[in-house]
Chains A and B, each alone.
Chain A
Amino acid sequence: MHRAKTGAGVMLLALLALPPLARPQAVGDHQYTSEAIELGSRTYTSQCALCHGPQGALVDGIDLRLGIFRGVASDEDLRRVIAEGSGEGQMPAFDFGAGEMEGIIAYIRAGFDPEGVAVRIGDPARGEELFYGRGDCSGCHRVDGEGPRTAPDLSDIGAIRTPAVLQLNLLDPTAAMLPINRPVRLVTLDEEVVTGRRLNEDTHTVQVLDSSERLRSFAKIDLSSFEISREPSKPPVDMNEEEVADLVAFLLTLRGG
């Protein structure tokens, strides 16, 4: 499990100093109140997100949302690092009141999910049948090297998404879809039409996995049109509550490696 896939720009520092990866947090630990999580959410956004990022993964080797830390195991460890700073001055010490401190830890431990995690989890075997059967998820998504690459690979989706987010993807994919994953349609100046999935973009260029599964890079100056859809390329099929729960359960079993 010493692996992860990222967008770009992840910083990896001195290898010999890397501590063991912590396991992703078990979601649904309700030792903190929802008020604490809510307060933590606000404190995090104002005080922590600048360096750690809104998703908590901007610092090398650390993913706060997934509970991956460099030298932290217990809540007490977290409290100490926040109060004393860390990384030879890279992280400053924060002078929080007791309530704010508990809130931040609650928010981190809740996987950055202020709504809590009351997601119904069904039967993964039935979910797998749906995935490959009536749900036709496998028509676009790839798992463990099988299936098309046009939609995001889901081999480790259970390790990198919370149950609540997985559920939202099924119920309201437009609201849940990561912006980078939005389908794109490009028309080049020589009138080639390219549809695909955006992998990376900057001011002057865009990198796309096209519908023929080719990695392609375009200079925007060479495009006559560049459209991004808020809709997934294919909507999920209608599923009842039980089926959604089953599918979430199956997706949670996809943990890579």
Chain B
Amino acid sequence: MKIFAVGILFVLFAAPVCAQISYERILQAEDGPESWLTYNGGYMSQRYSRLTQIGQENVGDLELRWLLQNQVFGAWQSSPIVADGVMYVTERPNSIMAVDPITGRVFWKYVHTPAENSLVCCGANNRGVAVLDDRVFMGTLDARLVAVDRINGELLWEVEVGDVNLAYSVTMAPLAVKDKIIVGVGGGEFGIRGYVAAFYAETGELAWKTYTIPAPGEPGHETWEGDDWQYGGAPVWITGSFDPEENLTYWGVGNPGPDWNAAQRPGDNLYSDSVIALDADTGELRWHFQFTPNDGYDYDAVQVPVLADMEWRGEDRKLMFWANRNGYFYVLDRSDGEFLLGNPFVRVNWSSGLDENGRPIPTPQPEGMPTWPGNQGGTNWYPPSWSPRTELFYFSAWEDYATIYQPEESEYVPGRAFLGGGFDVLTPAPGAPGVGIGRTNPINNWTDEVGHASLKALDPRTGEEVWEFEQFDVSDSGMLTTATDLLFTGGREGYIHALDAASGELLWKRNLGGQIVMAPITYMIDGVQYLSFISGHVLATFALRHK
């Protein structure tokens, strides 16, 4: 078959016909379910696909089409993007691969080696790329933003987002809006002062930068004392959402620092543990809602802001759904941040409830006593899903998981951990193993007694659970729903599950054997719908069995 054609010139005329991934196309991402154009599948961040080839009647016919083995160790948290028949997925710490989504073979790989003094709390994670026009964008552990040619993987520009020497980092997938690429910074355990920054996609030039902690003279600064605001954390490490009509981008803001010693930084510590609504063109703060004022539990509000348009008590409203790390589920009006509903979805004892404005009534536990939910939260950064068909909100929760906090005074030293003490996971016997970040042991010797997963389907109208699907271990898996009322998800145990999104009935499962710490995606090429999961060090893609 393969023939060497000696001496023959294959003249290659450069005649690009490659379609561009324009902003207009990303705006309509939900209408083009063949691709998966943003981290969360579209600006509404619903992770809901209109593809219908895989349905409840044939989900049992799914078969493995290909595997791509990762070449690095550690949790693989990347969410692939599929654009015009090419998949773009990152490998930790900071590589981008362009992959053929039909075979899993790799077209090119771009490698950014982060500076050796990069500092991150919880692993050399990267959660994916953004695409815009003919470019792919990735944030890096050393707090840089790179733009790479979508076709040949060549670096186009690289700019500094933050100072790596002060422990700034970028682990989120960027968000492309109009002509800008927007990212936030990590470093909430190292005394950074967080921000969201937008860069022109064409040049990498900074367009705007909005701090998540107000400077002296700005509204909200009065919620900090002394110099606390200068190293108060409030990172932004999960991709936000965008409402083009409001021209607002929405971002979940992380914990204040030091994490566990709230007494050291009196005040509400705005805008830590908040959602902030920033003008897409200018970065101007239009509204905010704080979930956990003066947080001493590391309850980052780094969840994906899930946007939905729905009838709410008799009128059509622009809503935002939010299952928060602090254990409460919230519904907000995304045009002005008005609090509409709040309800706990797991056991909560750090607060006895929410007042009429959604502000928690604090009930701090005595020293040495457990706090529910524990440090990793009732849920965390794992992407939820909203199905406009079932009108249910799906996410991974951690049940029966509590932490005993040990706050202590911390001194801020630039570039060093700034934690304010420590914590222990509550276990049923002294010295018993707890549950931590990620899973490295194939034997579950900690058991469900220290925490376990509950996939929850909530009715946002009431905040009540409609059904749940429990797992023995905890889960960091995100969600995917489809127009055939299928819900796909996974967990730390390495199973992938397909459930009836309406009833929660388990319809199909496979054991991929490695922890699933991201949400699945789906796409369609040449009339075939594919499903991709990342499990352990494997990207596995399924489709219906060939007839």
A residues in contact (CB < 8 Å) with B = 2-21, 61, 139-140, 142, 144-145, 148-151, 153, 155-156, 183-185, 195-197, 199-200, 202, 205, 207, 209, 211-215, 217, 219-220, 223, 225-235, 256-257
B154 at interface by CB-CB < 8 Å: yes
Judging by beta carbons under 8 Å apart, are B102 and A217 in contact? yes
Judging by beta carbons under 8 Å apart, are A9 and B71 in contact? yes
Give Cα A151 to B17, complex, Å: 16
Residues in A with CB closer than 8 Å to B65 are none
Contact A228-B9, Cβ < 8 Å, known A200-B106, A213-B18: no
Q: List 30 A-B contacts (CB under 8 A).
A: A2-B114, A2-B115, A3-B155, A5-B153, A12-B93, A12-B113, A15-B114, A15-B141, A16-B116, A17-B116, A18-B113, A148-B14, A195-B10, A197-B12, A199-B107, A209-B107, A211-B12, A211-B14, A212-B16, A212-B18, A213-B14, A213-B15, A214-B18, A223-B1, A227-B8, A227-B10, A228-B4, A229-B5, A231-B8, A231-B9
Residues in B with CB closer than 8 Å to A8 are 97, 106, 108-109
Judging by beta carbons under 8 Å apart, are A12 and B95 in contact? yes
Q: Kindly list 15 other residue pairs between chains A and B, CB separation below 8 angstroms, not including A15-B92, A142-B149.
A: A5-B109, A5-B154, A12-B113, A14-B124, A15-B141, A16-B116, A16-B124, A18-B113, A139-B14, A183-B12, A197-B12, A200-B105, A207-B100, A207-B106, A227-B5
Give Cα A21 to B97, complex, Å: 22
Chain B window 1-38, contacts with chain A (Cβ cutoff 8 Å), 1 for yes, 0 for no: 11111111111111111100000000000000000000
Chain B window 90-124, contacts with chain A (Cβ cutoff 8 Å), 1 for yes, 0 for no: 01110101101011011111111111101100001
- Write the nearest CB–CB distance from A151 to chain B, whole angstroms: 7
B156 at interface by CB-CB < 8 Å: yes
Residues in A with CB closer than 8 Å to B100 are 205, 207, 215, 217
Contact A10-B114, Cβ < 8 Å, known A15-B124, A228-B5: no
Residues in B with CB closer than 8 Å to A229 are 4-10
Judging by beta carbons under 8 Å apart, are B1 and A12 in contact? no
- Write the nearest CB–CB distance from B186 to chain A, whole angstroms: 14
Nearest-neighbor residue (CB-CB) of A18 within chain B: B116
Residues in B with CB closer than 8 Å to A211 are 12-15
Could you say which of A205, A219, A228, A231 contacts B2, with CB atoms under 8 Å apart?
A228
The CB with the most chain B CB atoms within 10 A, among A3, A151, A153, is that of A3
Residues in B with CB closer than 8 Å to A10 are 71, 95, 109, 111
Give Cα A209 to B100, complex, Å: 12
B142 at interface by CB-CB < 8 Å: yes
Judging by beta carbons under 8 Å apart, are B73 and A153 in contact? no
Judging by beta carbons under 8 Å apart, are A233 and B154 in contact? no
Please classify the interface of chain B as helix (H, G, I), strand (E, B), loop, or mixed, using the class held by over half of its residues: loop
Judging by beta carbons under 8 Å apart, are B71 and A183 in contact? no
Give Cα A175 to B3, complex, Å: 18
The 9 closest A-B pairs by CB, nearest first: A148-B14, A217-B100, A150-B12, A183-B10, A213-B16, A15-B124, A153-B154, A227-B5, A18-B116
Give Cα A228 to B10, complex, Å: 9
Contact A11-B17, Cβ < 8 Å, known A183-B10, A205-B105, A233-B10: no
Residues in A with CB closer than 8 Å to B158 are 3, 257
Nearest-neighbor residue (CB-CB) of B164 within chain A: A2
- Write the nearest CB–CB distance from A143 to chain B, whole angstroms: 9
Judging by beta carbons under 8 Å apart, are A219 and B3 in contact? no
Contact A155-B11, Cβ < 8 Å, known A213-B18, A215-B86, A217-B105: no
- Write the nearest CB–CB distance from B525 to chain A, whole angstroms: 10
Residues in B with CB closer than 8 Å to A7 are 109
- Write the nearest CB–CB distance from A223 to chain B, whole angstroms: 7
Judging by beta carbons under 8 Å apart, are A217 and B10 in contact? no
The CB with the most chain B CB atoms within 10 A, among A2, A148, A212, A234, is that of A2
The CB with the most chain A CB atoms within 10 A, among B3, B15, B152, is that of B152
Residues in A with CB closer than 8 Å to B142 are 2
Residues in A with CB closer than 8 Å to B85 are 215
Could you say which of B1, B119, B153 contacts A225, with CB atoms under 8 Å apart?
B1
Judging by beta carbons under 8 Å apart, are A215 and B1 in contact? no
Nearest-neighbor residue (CB-CB) of B118 within chain A: A15
Judging by beta carbons under 8 Å apart, are B141 and A207 in contact? no
Judging by beta carbons under 8 Å apart, are B72 and A12 in contact? yes
Residues in A with CB closer than 8 Å to B307 are none
Contact A3-B146, Cβ < 8 Å, known A8-B106, A213-B151: yes
Nearest-neighbor residue (CB-CB) of B153 within chain A: A5
Give Cα A108 to B174, complex, Å: 40
Give Cα A28 to B95, complex, Å: 32
Give Cα A149 to B151, complex, Å: 8
Contact A233-B9, Cβ < 8 Å, known A5-B153, A149-B14, A219-B103: yes
Within 8 A of A (CB), among B229-253: none
Judging by beta carbons under 8 Å apart, are B108 and A199 in contact? yes
Judging by beta carbons under 8 Å apart, are B109 and A6 in contact? yes
Chain B window 126-142, contacts with chain A (Cβ cutoff 8 Å), 1 for yes, 0 for no: 00000000000000011
Contact A140-B14, Cβ < 8 Å, known A155-B155, A225-B1, A230-B7: yes
Contact A5-B155, Cβ < 8 Å, known A11-B71, A12-B91, A217-B102: yes
- Write the nearest CB–CB distance from A105 to chain B, whole angstroms: 24
